[in-house]
């Protein structure tokens, strides 16, 4: 089906996200808010299908600086405890075959899931990276990153030097909430590999779009496992369509 593109400044089919990320819904979306549907055109929300057949409806959010384009959004620290626990359980299932010795959690939203994944795997702790530079940090244990949600803000991700012995020479799984452009993930893998860390795999709740595959390249893209996939979206006069 084709449709004429909506005006570039149209604000159709988006709404506040307050009620999103709070519950899992059945396969037929019973109990879902009006306007959300299983097939395009999507309106207001995108139904991400989970491994057990249920859905998590994600709000449609426009991409900054890209009129008429949007993504299905997951803000993990605004999600209900139930949703976080369910997603973390699926992520642990994906991480278990990797045989990793350590879970490395990425800031900020990856650290919603990383401790739960580590605990489910029987690990006593996990290793968090961070954006806040403490005075004892070493710039050599950091990498410059940029994300889809903060495209104009270059920042650095740091490993606390006190945590270095926990990962150096070890087999690790990297946990984050989502992969989108792949920029942050590529920088983190580069950092870890410089530190003689073996990245066995990357586990995320959401794989968003396809741009990350090109950024990471085939070998690194193959490391990334996700609970669900969501497309980038383009606005037409009847709603949002996969790009």
DSSP label at 51? T
- Of 211, 128, 132, the C-alpha closest to 172 is 128
Which residues form the domain of 225? 81-230
Give residue 13's pLDDT: 87
* Segment 117-142, tens digit of pLDDT: 999 999 999 999 999 889 999 999 99
Residue 72 belongs to a domain: no
Residue 220 belongs to a domain: yes
- Of 204, 158, 163, 170, the C-alpha closest to 102 is 170
Residues of the chain short of pLDDT 70, as ranges, are 1-11, 31-35, 146-153
Residue 45 belongs to a domain: no
Residue 151 belongs to a domain: yes
The strand pairing partners of 174, in sequence order, are: 104, 202
- 176 phi/psi in degrees, rounded to 5: -140, 170
8 A C-beta contact, residue 144 and residue 155? yes
Residue 4 belongs to a domain: no
Taking the model in full, what pTM does it have? Answer: 0.90
Helix (H) or strand (E) holding 171: strand 171-179
Give residue 9's pLDDT: 40
Residue 119 belongs to a domain: yes
Residue 196 belongs to a domain: yes
Please state the domain count of the chain.
Answer: 1
Give residue 229's pLDDT: 96
Q: Largest Cα–Cα distance of the chain, in whole Å? A: 58
Give residue 151's pLDDT: 56
CA dihedral 167, 184, 231, 115 (to 10 degrees): 30
* Segment 54-71, tens digit of pLDDT: 999 999 999 888 888 999
Collapsed DSSP state (helix, strand, coil) of residue 179:
strand
> Can you tell me the distance from the alpha carbon of 243 to that of 45, in angstroms, rounded to the nearest whole number?
15
CATH number, position 121: 3.40.50.2020
- Of 75, 85, 48, the C-alpha closest to 227 is 48
Give residue 217's pLDDT: 96
Residue 36 belongs to a domain: no
> Can you tell me the distance from the alpha carbon of 206 to that of 110, in angstroms, rounded to the nearest whole number?
11
């Amino acid at each position: 089906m084709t449709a004429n593109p909506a005006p570039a400044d149209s604000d159709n089919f988006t709404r506040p996200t307050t009620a999103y990320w709070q519950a899992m819904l059945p396969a037929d979306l019973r109990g879902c808010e009006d306007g959300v549907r299983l097939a395009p055109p999507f309106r207001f929300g995108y139904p991400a299908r989970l491994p057990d057949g249920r859905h998590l409806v994600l709000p449609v959010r426009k991409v900054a600086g890209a009129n008429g384009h949007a993504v299905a959004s997951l803000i993990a620290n605004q999600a209900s405890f139930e949703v976080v626990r369910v997603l973390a359980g699926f992520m642990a299932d994906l991480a278990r075959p990797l045989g990793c010795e350590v879970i490395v959690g990425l800031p900020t939203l990856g650290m919603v899931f990383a401790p739960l994944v580590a605990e489910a795997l029987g690990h006593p702790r996990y290793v968090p990276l961070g954006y806040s530079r403490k005075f004892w940090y070493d710039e050599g244990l950091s990498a410059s990153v940029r994300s889809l949600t903060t495209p104009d803000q270059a920042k650095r991700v740091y490993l606390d030097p006190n945590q270095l012995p926990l990962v150096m020479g070890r087999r690790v799984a990297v946990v984050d909430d989502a992969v989108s452009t792949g920029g942050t993930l590529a920088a983190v893998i580069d950092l870890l590999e410089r530190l003689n860390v073996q990245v066995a795999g990357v586990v995320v709740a959401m794989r968003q779009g396809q741009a990350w595959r090109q950024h990471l390249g085939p070998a690194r893209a193959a490391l990334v496992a996700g609970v669900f996939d969501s497309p980038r979206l383009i606005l037409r006069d009847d709603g949002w369509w996969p790009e």
